[in-house]
């Protein structure tokens, strides 16, 4: 890997070398189409079945309930559009939240343009939905509730089991975008009463370009990709055997390490948060603390400075971080997640997301704290926003 400190594991991970090795034979040596009838495809068919079993293991599903896709975004699109256009659909109303990933929000906007009604639930200051507000939003014509398992910007872990129970009682489909959560926190689709769940391999040291949608047995969804009869006739396209093998291998490796990594990363996370709080005046942690936060996520606002400026300075210091979601960073709008949590424009603009992973160490955390302390102080010293902030504070005091 290139030198420097990578703290953007929520954007993507490297592919583990064991995963690359497991994939290798399926590019050329075992290239056959798994749908072909001859015996030389047997190895590929077996590899596909094994991948499905390994991915099912992440969430306690049966292998028959796992359908491979080309990304987490595709799984999200399929869940929403598939439920909306399902032959079993009884209504035209969908409920989701204002802090979802764009793959959900943009799909919801598409459905709105096509005659569906969507309710976007607010979140509290920590980024969590409130059960009473969810309850109040569900109607007789609601077909689907989609709430992400854990937020990609602030790491907030939603009360998924409670949401599942609520939906099951009311006969409403429950989808959760678990792209950030899968293999990082325990997930059990049966006890959490989840009907549909999205995953992506590249968020847990698997390859990019492969994901999965869990569809609970008996749930009827319209297809998103029409064509051949692959994936039991539910998702057309020749199976991407190498990437599916990679996703399966990555799932198995990550699950074997989940408990130890969860402890190690949450300790590093809390060290990063505590040290930044001590070193930098007026910092604010965005999102929940402790168990309700993903073990690898830190998101801080530094008033008086622009997040983008901090990122560029961090980059010069060899540190790769993000202002929030990688997908939104091309636009200069403040994060929709931070705005939904009630932050001011200023606070939302001054935010930085640091996400930890396999290569993260205490030494890296301490280097990042030192670099950020220096950068924030230097940028504040030349910031009119910071001067205004200090003036306002002294007036208030
Ligand atoms: C990364 C991510 C996605 C998109 O997954 P892709 O495989 O990149 O399409 C969707 N939802 C969340 C929460 C994510 O973090």
Task: Give the Cα-Cα-Cα angle 341, 347, 351 (nearest 5 degrees).
Answer: 90
DSSP 25: G
State the distance from the centre of ligand 1 to the C-alpha of 312, rounded, in angstroms: 24
Contacts of residue 291, defined as CB under 8 A and 6 or more positions apart, other chains included, come to 157
The protein residue with its alpha carbon nearest to ligand 1, atom 6, reads 72
E runs forming strands in 159-230: 173-177, 196-200, 211-215
What SS3 state is found at 67?
A: strand
What's the Cα-to-Cα distance from 3 to each of 136, 178, 318, 362, rounded to whole Å? 51, 30, 8, 17
Please identify which of the residues 219, 255, 317, 327 carries the catalytic annotation: 327
Determine which helix (DSSP H) or strand (DSSP E) holds 380, and give its type and residue range: helix 362-381
Closest CA to 293 of 188, 395, 166, 153: 153
Which residue has the least CA distance to atom 3 on ligand 1?
A: 72
Q: Where are the beta strands (DSSP E) in the chain?
A: 5-6, 66-69, 93-97, 117-121, 142-146, 173-177, 196-200, 211-215, 283-285, 297-302, 319-320, 351-355
**Which residue has its alpha carbon closest to ligand 1 atom 14?**
179
Residue 271 CA to ligand 1 center (angstroms) comes to 27
Phi then psi dihedrals of residue 383, to 5 deg:
-105, 120
Domains of the chain: 5-10+257-392 (3.90.1150.10), 17-256 (3.40.640.10)
pLDDT at 2: 62
Query: What DSSP designation does 370 have?
Result: H
Q: Which tens digits make up the pLDDT trace of 58-104?
A: 999 999 999 999 999 999 999 999 999 998 778 999 999 999 999 99
Q: How far is CA 371 from the centre of its chain?
A: 27
Choosing from 152, 160, 322 the residue with most ligand 1 atoms within 8 A of its CB, the one to mutate for a pocket test is: 152
- Distance (angstroms) between ligand 1 centre and the Cα of 272 equals 25
- What is the structure's pLDDT at 87? 84
Alpha-carbon span 202 to 369, nearest angstrom? 27
Question: How far apart are alpha carbons 277 and 254 in whole angstroms?
Answer: 31
Ligand 1 atom having least distance to the Cα of 103: 10
Query: At which residue do the structure tokens 């950030």 appear?
Result: 180
Per-residue pLDDT of the chain (397 residues; tens, 9 = 90+): 567 999 999 999 999 999 999 999 999 999 999 999 999 999 999 999 999 999 999 999 999 999 999 999 999 999 999 999 998 778 999 999 999 999 999 999 999 999 999 999 999 999 999 999 999 999 999 999 999 999 999 999 999 999 999 999 999 999 999 999 999 999 999 999 999 999 999 999 999 999 999 999 999 999 999 999 999 999 999 999 999 999 999 999 999 999 999 999 999 999 999 999 999 999 999 999 999 999 999 999 999 999 999 999 999 999 999 986 544 445 568 899 999 999 998 899 999 999 999 999 999 999 999 999 999 999 999 999 999 999 998 887 6
Our CA angle for 231, 74, 247, nearest 5°, is 65
Give the integer Cα–Cα distance in Å for 162 and 19: 35
* Residue entry with tokens 């769940």: 197
Which residues surround ligand 1 with Cβ inside 6 Å?
Answer: 71-73, 76, 101, 103, 148, 152, 177, 179-180, 200, 202-203, 211
Query: Given the CA of residue 71, which atom of ligand 1 is nearest to it?
Result: 7
What is the per-residue pLDDT for 397? 61
Phi (first) and psi of residue 94, to 5 degrees: -125, 140
Parallel/antiparallel/unpaired status of strands 211-215 and 196-200: antiparallel
Nearest CA to 249 out of 17, 70, 91, 78 is that of: 17
Of ligand 1's atoms, which has the minimum distance to the CA of residue 209? 7
Residues 120 and 160: their CA atoms lie apart, in Å, by: 17
Half-sphere exposure in the Cβ direction for 375 (13 Å, CA): 25
Is 167 one of the catalytic residues?
no
């Amino acid at each position: 890997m290139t030198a420097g400190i990578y703290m953007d594991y929520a954007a993507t991970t490297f592919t583990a070398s064991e995963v690359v090795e497991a994939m290798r034979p399926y590019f050329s040596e075992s290239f056959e189409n798994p749908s072909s009838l001859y015996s030389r495809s047997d190895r590929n068919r077996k590899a596909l079945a094994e991948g499905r079993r390994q991915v099912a293991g992440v969430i306690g599903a049966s292998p028959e309930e796992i359908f491979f896709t080309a990304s987490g975004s595709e799984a999200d699109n399929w869940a929403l559009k598939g439920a909306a256009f399902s032959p079993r659909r009884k209504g035209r109303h969908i409920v989701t939240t204002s802090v979802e990933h764009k793959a959900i929000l943009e799909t919801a906007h598409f459905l709105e343009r096509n005659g569906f009604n969507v309710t976007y639930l607010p979140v509290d200051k920590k980024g969590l939905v409130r059960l009473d507000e969810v309850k109040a939003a569900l109607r007789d014509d609601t077909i689907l509730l989609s709430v992400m398992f854990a937020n990609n910007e602030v790491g907030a872990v939603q009360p998924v089991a409670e949401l599942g129970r609520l939906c099951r009682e009311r006969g409403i489909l429950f989808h959760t975008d678990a792209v950030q959560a899968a293999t990082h926190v325990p997930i059990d689709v049966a006890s959490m009463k989840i009907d549909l769940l999205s995953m992506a391999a590249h968020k847990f040291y698997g390859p990019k370009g492969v994901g999965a949608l869990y569809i609970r047995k008996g749930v009827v969804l319209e297809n998103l990709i029409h064509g051949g009869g692959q994936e039991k006739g539910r998702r057309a396209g020749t199976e991407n055997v190498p990437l599916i093998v990679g996703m399966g291998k990555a799932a198995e490796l990550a699950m074997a390490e989940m408990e130890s990594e969860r402890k190690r990363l949450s300790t590093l996370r809390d060290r990063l948060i505590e040290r930044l709080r001590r070193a930098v005046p007026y910092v604010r942690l965005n999102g929940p603390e402790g168990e309700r936060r993903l073990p690898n996520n830190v998101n801080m606002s530094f008033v008086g400075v622009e997040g983008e400026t901090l990122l560029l300075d961090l980059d010069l210091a060899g540190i790769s971080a993000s202002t929030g979601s990688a997908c939104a960073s091309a636009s200069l709008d403040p994060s929709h997640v931070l705005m939904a949590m009630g932050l001011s424009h200023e606070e939302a603009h001054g935010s930085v997301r640091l996400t930890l992973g396999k290569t993260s160490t205490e030494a890296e955390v301490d280097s990042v704290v030192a670099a950020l302390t220096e950068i924030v102080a230097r940028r504040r010293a030349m910031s009119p926003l910071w001067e205004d902030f200090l003036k306002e504070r002294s007036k208030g005091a």
